[in-house]
């Protein structure tokens, strides 16, 4: 399924996006920010998406994790608890996984150290809530978390220069593509290989 990911609300624009050929909507459940005041998926937006036949929603949590400094001890538990609460508030079923972002080309030491600890914490909290965990990141990060058993699904970042991109691409559940303007929205395009990662009506 062709999809978009965007930090902007799609309320009032769902039909236009679908008409453009995109039926998947990958939206944030991390809190709104100053730069993106409508970043967080809300129940009304989710309902507007799912009112259009054939659509699906994917959920991602990212609070600007652009360096190893983000992944401090305890942060995974905190982020998972916020993500779980926000997903429930948006009306998401527990069958819908939540992806957590590693939005930089992490080194092997970063991945096997603080990032692995972060995902161990995330997975523990998510597992206790009965929700599956996903990771967004480089091929190397995706592979490591999948092999460690702390991520069930992987979303491969579009940056081909990041470690492990070509190796992991055939195994990814979502593959991010280039940026584009779709129905007036600035988005990244995506291909959802495994539609089980989406929440549908």
| Average pLDDT score, the chain | 97
Indicate the SS3 state at residue 172: coil
Residue 26 phi/psi, 5° resolution? -100, 110
Taking only the tens place, the pLDDT of each residue in 84-127 is 999 999 999 999 999 999 999 999 999 999 999 999 999 999 99
Read off the pLDDT of residues 17-36 as tens digits, 9 standing for 90 and up: 999 999 999 999 999 999 99
What pTM was computed for the model? 0.97
Domain range 2-200, CATH class:
alpha beta
Q: Where are the beta strands (DSSP E) in the chain?
A: 2-5, 24-28, 56-61, 98-101, 133-137, 153-156, 174-182, 185-192, 199-200
**Cα separation of 82 and 39, whole Å?**
14
Residues forming beta bridges with residue 99, ordered by sequence position: 60, 134
Q: What is the predicted pLDDT for the residue at 69?
A: 95
Domain boundaries, the chain: 2-200
Residue 73 phi, psi dihedral angles, 5° rounding:
-60, 135
pLDDT reported for residue 15: 97
Q: How far, rounded to the nearest angstrom, does the alpha carbon of residue 1 sit from its chain's CA centroid?
A: 16
Beta strands at 24-28 and 56-61: parallel, antiparallel or unpaired:
parallel
Residue 65: pLDDT over 80: no
């Amino acid at each position: 399924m062709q999809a978009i990911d965007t930090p902007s609300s799609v309320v009032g624009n769902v039909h236009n996006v679908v008409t453009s050929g995109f039926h998947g909507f990958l939206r944030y459940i991390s809190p709104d920010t100053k730069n993106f005041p409508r970043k967080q998926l809300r129940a009304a937006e989710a309902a507007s998406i799912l009112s259009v036949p054939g659509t699906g929603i994917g959920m991602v949590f990212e609070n600007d994790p652009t360096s190893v400094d983000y992944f401090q001890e305890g942060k995974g538990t905190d982020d998972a608890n916020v993500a779980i609460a926000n997903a429930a508030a948006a009306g998401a079923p527990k069958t819908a996984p939540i992806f957590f972002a590693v939005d930089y080309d992490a080194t092997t030491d970063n991945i096997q150290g603080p990032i692995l600890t972060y995902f161990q914490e995330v997975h523990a909290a998510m597992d206790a809530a009965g929700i599956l965990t996903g990771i967004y990141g480089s091929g190397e990060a995706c592979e490591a978390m999948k092999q460690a058993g702390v991520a069930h699904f992987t979303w491969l970042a579009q940056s081909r220069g990041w470690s492990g991109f070509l190796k992991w691409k055939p195994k990814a559940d979502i593959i991010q593509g280039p940026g584009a303007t779709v129905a007036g929205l600035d988005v990244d395009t995506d291909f959802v290989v495994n539609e089980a990662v989406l929440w549908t009506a």
